[in-house]
Amino acid sequence: MPKQATRLALFDLDHTLLPLDSDYQWADFLARTGRAGDPDVARARNDELMAQYNRGDLTADQAAEFMLGLLAAHPPYELAHWHEQFMQEVVRPALTQPALDLVNQHLLAGDLCAIVTATNSFVTAPIARAFGIEHLIATDPQYLLGRYTGKIKGTPSFKEGKVIRVDAWLKSLGLAIGEFEQSYFYSDSINDLPLLEVVTHPIVTNPSPSLRDVAVERQWPILDIFGKPLDQKS
C-alpha cells in the first residue's frame, strides 16, 4: 500500500456496487442448473435466507450451513468452472458504469480500497477483480484436504464482524482506521451499521428502507446509483 494514502475507501458489494446479491444469485444459479439438489427445495431455502437477511435476523452460521454447504458438495475444479459461467451469465451483465466510476474515483485518487462483504470469498474474489479492487475482506470458507468443508474459517465478515476484520486487515498493513484523514464506507444494508458508525464518511448507497431512515435521521449522505435491484430486497 502506498504510504502516502491518506484516505480509506471501503465498499460493501451486494446491492451496493452490484444491483443484485451475489450470494443469493450464486445459489440460484446452482439450483436452476441442477447443481444444488432439488431445485425447488434449494430455491425455497435461498429465498428464506434472503428474507431473514433483509429483516436483519440472519446469523452467519445459518447462512454458512446452506451457502458454504453448496461449496462442500462439489470438487473445486467443478466449482471453478461453474463460477466462470456465473460471472459470464449473471455478474458481468450487472456491472454498471456508475458503480465502476465510483470505485475508479477512489482508485485514481490513490485511496486504499477494499471490498468488505459478508458473501464468501470464493464467490466474490473474481467480482472484486472485475472492479479492479485488490483487497477483499469476505467471509472465508474453510478449505481442507483439497475440498471446502462447509464451515467458516475465522471471523465472518458480517455485522460487527466487518469491523473486526477491517481492523485486523489494517493492522496487518501496519495501519489503523483512525490514522486516515478520511475513511469512507459505502453500504446499502442496516446489517452494516457497525462499520458505518466507525468511518468518518458513512455513505448509504441504494439503501434499504430501514437504513435510509437511519441516514435521514443522522444526516448521512444517500447515494442512489441503481434502479430496482435484480433480486429481493426489503
Catalytic site residues?
12, 14
Per DSSP, the chain holds a count of helices (H) and strands (E) of 9, 7
Hey, what amino acid is at 143? Y
Q: Which three cell numbers stand for residue 143?
A: 478449505
Determine the angle formed by the axes of helices 60-72 and 39-55, rounding to 10 degrees: 150
**Cα–Cα distance for residue pair 70/150, rounded to 1 Å:** 7
- Paired sense of beta strands 182-187 and 201-205, if any: parallel
Which residues are 8's β-sheet partners?
112, 183
Sign of CA dihedral 68, 69, 70, 75: positive
Q: What angle do CA 107, 9, 222 make, to 5 degrees?
A: 110
Residue 116's H or E segment, with its range, is: strand 112-120
**Alpha-carbon span 111 to 114, nearest angstrom:** 10
